[in-house]
Amino acid sequence: MPKEIFMPKLSSTMEIGTLLQWFKEEGDSVEIGEPLFEIMTDKINIEVEAYDDGIFLKKYYEADDQIPVNAVIGYIGEANEQVPSEPPAQADGESSEDSGTSSPSESAVSAEVETTSGEKVRATPAARKTAKDHHVAIHEVTGTGPKGRVQKRDVEAAVHSGETDQRVSPLAEKVAAREGIDLANVTGSGAHGKIMKSDVTAATAQTAGTAPVKTQKLAGMRKVIADRMSQSAFTAPHVTLTSEIDMTKAKEVRKQLLPAIEKETGYRLSFTEIIIHAVSNVLTRHPHINMTFEQNELHFHDDVHIGLAVAVKDGLMVPVISHANEKGLKQLTKEAKEIGRNARDQKLLPDQLKGSTFTISNLGMYAIDTFTPIINQPEVAILGVGRIQEKPVVVDGEIQVRPMMGVSLSFDHRVVDGAPAAAFLTDLKKVLEQPFELLM
């Protein structure tokens, strides 16, 4: 009996996954554990492995399709086994499209397509895909499904009857109508010469005598980041304390330990790991900083789980080093380097992005002295780290040039007062200026 392939639900907030690519084609053999397809969730890209052996019999979706979680996206089974030609229903109790009504799976993921008049057209995924394949403007097709929903057979009928020869995307048509652009004078860059929004935008700019402006819809990881940053900035009153730390002895520690750690792990000890070690140590003495604030409750954590902000293509990820307070510099170096690399390569697992109690954002590789980081909720504080630079400072009454590092502690003033935050930052300064104590 054929086995269903589902769009997995990889987090509690995930509702839709974007199919990035298939690693197998229909007819290929599949073994348990082999990568079968790759998806983009609201947080990460991840490869999904096969749970069954057999032949890849059917795929219902292509790259860039957005699919609801738990929807059937394909089948694995024995050669020549029969499978449905359309995605099966996600729930019982409704008949299929062949019986004159839309299937539950289509109803669950049906989309509303905006027309140039601002109205909405309901269409099933199969109808949208067929319209895309045949370069049909779906808003020109009369729907026969419930509430006028356009179904696959409606699009096919329009194609066969020659009802529509539209090669303009609905959004392009809307922009053209708004800007007064004659589409007869616009050359389409889409498939089979289809006019896209970018073509109309370029024509508008040409008419105005200006260069076209590149636009990009906020989506995927970038949209998630935007939503989370807005929520944090507008719900948590941020207060930021800054300080300068003399890194003279921290540099000495790094110089002495670097060869041994590199020999053991293959990775070079950086100041990031020294800072993680120091922060983890200090947080165990400051429970009001190592806490999270969720649903109007404060959660105090005995263990320290450090989120490490990592810049990736088109966004930012915060993988987590769990139980950082129990690890030495050797292990922290190995973990920090590996999760940073996996984040940039889009190979993090969902569990590696959960459970942090405090985050460090290090911009020390840039010409940045201090900055105001946004709290990674539900945490209540975040440390921003700037560059280390040589500065004249007064030491024992004499002016000396020392490597000074700027740090910024942003905290949620709803639940953290200034004095505890200042005490934490003061202790962190002491530990980093006397880092040999960390080796005791």
Question: Tell me: the pLDDT tens digits for 181-218?
Answer: 887 778 877 655 778 777 888 887 777 666 666 777 66
Peptide bond connecting 378 to the previous residue in cis, omega within 30 degrees of 0: yes
Distance CA 382, CA 241 (A): 11
Out of 154-163, 279-288, 358-367, which region has the weakest mean confidence (pLDDT)?
Answer: 154-163
The pLDDT tens digits for 12-56 are 667 888 888 898 999 999 998 888 998 887 667 788 888 889 999
Q: CB–CB of 324/283 below 8 Å?
A: no
Distance CA 333, CA 308 (A): 12
Per-residue pLDDT at 150: 79
Q: How far apart are the two ends of the chain, measured CA to CA in Å?
A: 62
User: Which of 53, 134, 413, 427 is an active site residue?
Assistant: 413
The pLDDT tens digits for 301-318 are 999 999 999 998 878 899
413 is catalytic: yes
Extract long-range pairs of 297-304: CB within 8 Å, 24+ residues apart.
Answer: 298/415, 299/378, 301/357, 303/357, 304/279, 304/280, 304/357, 304/358
3 state SS of 423:
helix
Which is nearest to 409 in space by CA: 396, 395, 420, 393?
Answer: 420
* Averaged confidence pLDDT in the chain: 84
Higher pLDDT, 100 or 88: 88
Distance CA 195, CA 44 (A): 32
Which is nearest to 163 in space by CA: 177, 189, 183, 143?
Answer: 143
Q: CB–CB of 183/195 below 8 Å?
A: yes
Most confident of 54-58, 96-100, 239-243: 239-243
pLDDT at 399 over 90: yes
| Residues in Cβ contact with 113 at an 8 Å cutoff, skipping those fewer than 6 apart | 120, 121, 122, 123, 128, 138, 139, 170
3 state SS of 147:
helix
The pLDDT tens digits for 130-144 are 776 666 766 677 888
Distance CA 374, CA 358 (A): 12
Q: Alpha-carbon torsion 332, 337, 343, 349, what sign? A: negative
Q: Alpha-carbon torsion 29, 32, 35, 40, what sign? A: positive
Distance CA 388, CA 403 (A): 6
Predicted structure pTM score = 0.62
Per-residue pLDDT at 161: 64
Per-residue pLDDT at 310: 93
What DSSP designation does 158 have?
H
Higher pLDDT, 240 or 92: 240
pLDDT at 122 over 80: no
Per-residue pLDDT at 114: 44
Mean pLDDT, rounded, for 326-350: 91
| Residues in Cβ contact with 198 at an 8 Å cutoff, skipping those fewer than 6 apart | 189, 212, 215
Higher pLDDT, 159 or 309: 309
The pLDDT tens digits for 66-92 are 888 889 999 999 988 999 888 876 544
Out of 127-136, 291-300, 397-406, which region has the weakest mean confidence (pLDDT)?
Answer: 127-136
Per-residue pLDDT at 209: 66
Per-residue pLDDT at 293: 95
Per-residue pLDDT at 377: 94
Cα angle vertex 110, ends 109, 112, to 5°?
130
Which is nearest to 438 in space by CA: 266, 279, 270, 263?
Answer: 279
| 356: enclosing H helix or E strand | none
Cα angle vertex 350, ends 298, 345, to 5°?
125
**Cβ density class 350-361: b for 16+ within 10 Å, e for less:** eebbbebbbbbb
